């Protein structure tokens, strides 16, 4: 029998979610005149925190009792894992998350010749579950608003001392809370989180589990079905799930007090879902001037950087496939392509006049609230104007910002450039007569930079030289120093053939032989770059520091005006968001609320098995027993973001119905604004997960554990129990 909330008038719920105004304004996203577009009530989103739990709102909107016990069970059933979210789904420490959240870990635990990323991994006994080295999962035990204590200390300090006083106050709070929770074990740690850009402060007490083992992971072709072309799109057909298990200090499966039950009914159009996880950083509280700077300078620079590094990796993968596979280049490319597509979507949102008009209207409402309150006007009246002035000053250094973007990135940057930066300091110190331990330490910093394969290194160096040329133009002295009349790729090859810092061995020999001097070609290039780079870092650093302080003030006044009705930006900290399973219009048609396995096979066959839509051999013919009508992916209006991958989607009864893994292309605007009328989050349906575990992977011990809560140590034991 359906729950009471499924009998609610769904039209009423949808109206509340989509049309509720902020103040007296009414959402009108379709209005042709941008000046007429008004801010909506939830434009700042629904990333509710546990310390400001929206119990009354949930109860009034969805018709169930969202009390303290409900939020406690929700909070303790969810985990934060590196870069993602997850949740307990059995009383035996079994954890569900996305495949892409553990993709690199699958490669990490693969033994020689196994190829688990391509072939999948399914532990058929408890003993076969593989511990992931260096991995962890954090459970939120408490979320405490410590703003009053922090501000009492910071506001009394003179401005130059405030950063130090803030850190000291937070350190004291963290130490106190760690002592208070010490009885829970040595795994307790406390993290301070700034909310509202420093307008509020919270302390989060976590229990950290460090024995986490891989239980099951599907083949890459299933977990990432559709590849980059289908990323951030819907309808979607990805089986993006994996299972982990948390073990206790005694080496036995951990037994959590709270976990989510596995739903057998799933969801349908109009059902309410709550997605709980750790959304990453968003920019919804920024001013119009800040958003315009992102649109014109920051996001284009990020897109150019991502595109260049993706091209470099792709060229390396083609030129040296064996070496690239050993370096797990596919996962690196997946990460870059995901960020590139997301950044492109963010830029499109910033270029959308209606979105910017809604943001401007919201800003105007806050300005008017400040001006209408004498006390607020005195303290905060100049915030918006000064923030706008800072953006103008940042625009003045736009060229070096683009040219030097992530100059010394360890993973996606040139090792030769990083080594040359260190070598320049060494060579200059040596020329000035520095010696002894100081010079030796500077030499060690040169040699600490690890080599990259030549086929990758010259590409990374080449895209950096191309960045310089694109930022400054062909006639600038920096471009001439970098290229010397050649193309970026030609110049990179020349520098790598001539410079003594092209690799660690050559650099070591040069240091040993005393031949590493300022005349080295790479050091000459650094000499040309450094004055501009240093000026840029000093200027941007000063402006960034002031901007952070003003953003904190803006966060404080925003909280004073709106209180808890406006949730803070995402901060990779635990949140709960509400939404409704709902189809939407796209490309002149209607996207269904959920897809099925029929659609997966249509994509596979319609694309002729092309690489992004290929299937493992055991999947190419529909597996026996798998009902192709089973829902595979579904969408809702829940407010998710990067970091919400793996987040559980649950019913008001806290039954798991899906695992969040993506947003649609319209949802990429959520960095800046929450628009449920167009954006959707995308989830793997638990009915698809259970069906494939049962009929494709024959993992009966996990299916039986989900059904009964009982721990089965072997497949044979589970098979006997099911007969």
For residues 574 and 361, what is the distance between their CA atoms, to the nearest angstrom? Answer: 29
Same domain flag for 430 and 518: yes
Pairing state between β 261-262 and 655-663: parallel
Distance separating alpha carbons of residues 204 and 187, to the nearest angstrom: 14
Q: Look at residue 376 and give its three-state secondary structure.
A: helix
Q: Specify the pairing of strand 631-636 against strand 681-685.
A: antiparallel
Model confidence over 389-401: pLDDT tens digits?
A: 999 999 999 999 9
CB count, 10 Å around CB of 548?
13
114 and 257 share one domain: yes
The answer, yes or no, to whether residue 16 has pLDDT greater than 80, is: no
Q: Tally Cβ neighbours within 10 Å of residue 293.
A: 22
Q: Are 600 and 225 in contact (CB under 8 A)?
A: yes
Q: Do the domain assignments include residue 273?
A: yes
Q: Which pLDDT score is estimated for 183?
A: 83
515 and 622 belong to one structural domain = no
Instruction: Please provide the distance, in angstroms rounded to a whole number, between the alpha carbons at the two ends of the chain.
Output: 27
pLDDT at position 682 is 98
| Number of domains forming the structure of the chain | 2
Six-digit token string for 283: 């920019």
Same domain, yes or no, for 616 and 475? no
SS3 215: strand
- Mean pLDDT, range 38-55, rounded to an integer: 95
In a domain, 57, yes or no: no
Band of the pLDDT at 330, cuts 50, 70, 90?
confident
Average pLDDT of the segment spanning 556-571? 95
pLDDT for 711 beyond 70: yes
- The pLDDT of residue 351 is 97
Which of 149, 167, 139, 137 lies closest to 50 in space, CA to CA? Answer: 139
Beta carbons within 8 Å of 31's beta carbon, 6+ residues apart: 37, 354
**Quick check: helix, strand or coil at residue 200?**
strand
Quick: pLDDT tens for 586-644: 999 999 999 999 999 999 999 998 999 999 999 999 999 999 999 999 999 999 999 99
Q: Are residues 529 and 617 in the same domain?
A: no
Q: Does the pLDDT of residue 468 top 80, yes or no? A: yes
* Residues 6 or more apart in contact with residue 386 via CB below 8 angstroms: 546, 550
Average pLDDT (697-721) is 95
In the predicted model, what is the mean pLDDT of residues 199-205?
Answer: 97
Taking the CA atoms of residue 690, residue 216, residue 185 and residue 79 in that order, the dihedral angle to the nearest 10 degrees is -60
User: Are the C-beta atoms of 109 and 132 separated by less than 8 Å?
Assistant: yes
For residue range 54-91, list pLDDT tens digits in order: 999 999 999 999 999 999 999 999 999 999 999 999 99
Per-residue model confidence as pLDDT tens digits over 661-689: 999 999 999 999 999 998 999 999 999 99
Do 423 and 522 fall into the same domain?
yes
- 235 or 113: which carries more pLDDT confidence? 235
What is the C-alpha separation between 178 and 186, in angstroms, rounded? 9
Quick check: 11 pLDDT over 80?
no
pLDDT tier for residue 24 given thresholds of 50, 70 and 90? very low
Q: What is the DSSP string of 480-541?
A: HHHHTTS-HHHHHHHHHHH-TTSSHHHHHHHHHHT---TTSHHHHHHHHHHHHHHHHHHHHH
Counting residues of the chain whose pLDDT is more than 90, the rounded percentage is 90
pLDDT at 502 over 80: yes
Contacts of 638 (CB under 8 A, 6+ apart): 46, 273, 274, 275, 577, 578, 579, 649, 660, 681
Residue 656: inside a domain:
yes
| Residue 108 belongs to a domain | yes
197 occurs within a structural domain: no
Q: Rounded CA gap, 339 and 688, in Å?
A: 27
CATH (domain of 227): 2.40.10.10
Per-residue pLDDT, averaged over 170-178, amounts to 96
What lies within 8 Å, CB to CB, of 715 at 6+ separation is 124, 125, 698, 699, 700, 701
Contact call for residues 221 and 615 (beta carbons, < 8 A): yes
Is the confidence at residue 266, as pLDDT, over 90?
Answer: yes
What's 622-657 look like in SS3?
A: CCCCCCCCCEEEEEECCCCCCCCCCCEEECCCCEEE
Residue 420 pLDDT greater than 70, yes or no: yes
Q: Is the same domain home to 588 and 505?
A: no
Which of 536, 558, 591 is where one domain is finished?
Answer: 536
Q: 530 and 426 share a domain?
A: yes
| Domain limits for position 432 | 415-536
Whether residue 605 lies inside any domain: the answer is: yes
Asked which of 92-101, 142-151, 178-187 is least confident by mean pLDDT, the reply is 178-187
Please state, rounded to an integer, the average pLDDT across all residues of the chain.
93
Q: Is 456 in the same domain as 604? A: no
Q: Which of 536, 564, 591 lies at the terminal end of a domain, its last residue?
A: 536
State residue 33's pLDDT score.
55
pLDDT at 46 over 90: yes
Residue 723: band (very low, low, confident or very high) from pLDDT cuts 50, 70, 90:
confident
Residue 28 is predicted with a pLDDT of: 36
Give Cα separations from 410 to 116, 343, 457 (angstroms): 27, 21, 12
Using the predicted structure, report yes or no on whether residue 4 has a pLDDT greater than 90: no
Entry pTM: 0.89
What are 344's two structure tokens? 């492109």
Give the residue among 461, 457, 443, 452 at the shortest CA–CA distance from 522: 461
Q: Which two tokens stand for residue 261?
A: 């039950």
Same domain, 470 and 598: no
Over residues 452-467, mean pLDDT: 97
At 345 the pLDDT is 93
Q: Are 476 and 587 members of one domain?
A: no
Contact criterion met (CB below 8 Å) for 217 and 239: no
Query: Given 536, 553, 571, which residue is the final one in a domain?
Result: 536
Question: What letter does residue 235 receive in the DSSP assignment?
Answer: S
Q: Kindly state whether residue 419 falls inside one of the protein's structural domains.
A: yes
| 325 part of a folded domain | no
Does 115 share its domain with 242?
A: yes
* pLDDT at residue 340 greater than cutoff 70: yes
Q: According to the model, what pLDDT value does residue 6 have?
A: 42
Token pair of 16, please? 């509340």
The pLDDT value given to residue 1: 35
Using CA atoms, how far residue 264 sits from 98, 244, 411, 506, in Å, is 19, 21, 43, 63
Name the maximum alpha-carbon separation found in the chain: 84
Query: Beta strand pairing status for 681-685 and 655-663?
Result: antiparallel
């Amino acid at each position: 029998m359906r729950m009471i909330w499924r009998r609610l008038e769904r039209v009423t719920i949808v109206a509340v979610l989509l049309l509720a105004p902020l103040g007296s304004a009414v959402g009108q996203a379709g209005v042709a005149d941008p000046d007429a577009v008004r801010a909506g009530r939830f434009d700042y989103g629904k990333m509710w925190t546990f310390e400001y739990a929206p119990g009354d709102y949930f109860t009034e909107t969805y018709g169930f009792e969202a009390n303290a016990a409900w939020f406690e069970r929700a909070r303790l059933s969810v985990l934060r894992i590196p870069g993602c979210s997850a949740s307990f789904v059995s009383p035996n420490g079994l954890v569900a998350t996305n495949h892409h959240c553990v993709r690199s870990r699958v490669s990490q635990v693969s033994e020689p010749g196994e190829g688990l990323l391509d072939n999948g991994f399914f532990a058929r006994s408890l003993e076969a579950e593989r511990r992931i080295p260096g991995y962890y999962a954090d459970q939120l035990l408490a979320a405490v608003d410590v703003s009053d204590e922090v501000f009492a200390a910071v506001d009394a300090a003179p401005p130059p001392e405030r950063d130090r006083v803030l850190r000291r106050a937070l350190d004291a709070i963290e130490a106190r809370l760690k002592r208070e929770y010490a009885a829970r074990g040595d795994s307790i740690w406390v993290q301070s989180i700034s909310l509202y850009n420093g307008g509020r402060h919270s302390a989060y007490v976590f229990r950290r589990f460090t024995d986490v083992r891989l239980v099951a992971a599907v083949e890459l072709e299933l977990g990432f079905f559709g590849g980059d072309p289908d990323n951030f799109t819907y309808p979607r057909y990805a089986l993006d799930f994996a299972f982990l298990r948390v073990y206790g200090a005694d080496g036995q499966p951990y037994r959590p007090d709270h976990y989510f039950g596995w739903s057998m009914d799933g969801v349908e159009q109009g059902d309410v879902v709550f997605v709980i996880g750790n959304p990453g950083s968003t920019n919804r509280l920024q001013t119009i001037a800040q958003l315009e700077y992102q649109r014109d300078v920051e996001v284009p620079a990020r897109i150019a950087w991502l595109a260049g590094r993706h091209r470099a990796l792709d060229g390396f993968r083609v030129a040296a496939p064996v070496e690239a596979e050993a370096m797990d280049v596919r996962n690196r490319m997946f990460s870059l392509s995901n960020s590139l597509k997301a950044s492109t979507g963010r830029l499109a949102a910033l270029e959308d006049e209606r979105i910017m008009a809604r943001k401007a209207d919201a800003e105007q409402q806050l300005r008017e609230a400040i001006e209408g309150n004498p006390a607020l006007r005195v303290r905060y009246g100049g915030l918006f104007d000064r923030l706008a002035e800072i953006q103008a000053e940042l625009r003045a250094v736009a060229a070096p910002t683009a040219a030097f973007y992530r100059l010394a990135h360890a993973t996606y940057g040139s090792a030769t450039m990083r080594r040359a930066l260190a070598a320049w300091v060494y060579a200059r110190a040596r020329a000035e007569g520095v010696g002894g331990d100081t010079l030796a330490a500077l030499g060690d910093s040169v040699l600490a930079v690890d080599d990259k394969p030549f086929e990758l290194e010259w590409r990374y160096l080449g895209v950096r030289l191309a960045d310089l040329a694109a930022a400054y133009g062909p006639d600038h002295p920096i471009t001439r120093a970098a290229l010397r009349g050649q193309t970026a790729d030609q110049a990179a090859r020349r520098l790598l053939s001539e410079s003594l810092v092209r690799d660690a061995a050559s650099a070591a020999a040069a240091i040993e032989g005393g031949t590493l001097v300022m005349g080295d070609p790479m050091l000459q290039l650094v000499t040309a770059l450094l004055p501009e780079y240093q000026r840029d870092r000093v200027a941007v650093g000063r402006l960034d520091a002031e901007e952070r302080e003003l953003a904190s003030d803006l966060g404080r006044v925003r909280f004073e005006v709106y209180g808890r009705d406006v949730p803070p930006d995402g901060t990779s900290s635990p949140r709960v968001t509400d939404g409704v399973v709902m189809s939407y219009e796209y490309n002149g048609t209607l996207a269904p609320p959920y897809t099925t396995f029929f659609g997966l096979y249509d994509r596979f066959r319609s694309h002729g098995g092309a690489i992004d839509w290929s299937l493992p051999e055991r999947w190419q013919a529909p597996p026996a027993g798998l009902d192709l009508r089973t829902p595979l992916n579904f969408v809702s209006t829940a407010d998710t973001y990067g970091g919400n991958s793996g987040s559980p989607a649950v019913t008001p009864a806290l039954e798991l119905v899906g695992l969040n893994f993506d947003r649609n292309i319209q949802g990429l605007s959520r960095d800046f604004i929450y628009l449920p009328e167009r954006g959707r989050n995308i989830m793997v349906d638990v009915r698809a997960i259970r069906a494939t575990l049962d009929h494709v992977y024959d993992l009966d011990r996990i299916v039986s554990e989900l059904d009964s809560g009982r721990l089965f140590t072997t497949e044979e034991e589970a098979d006997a129990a099911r007969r």
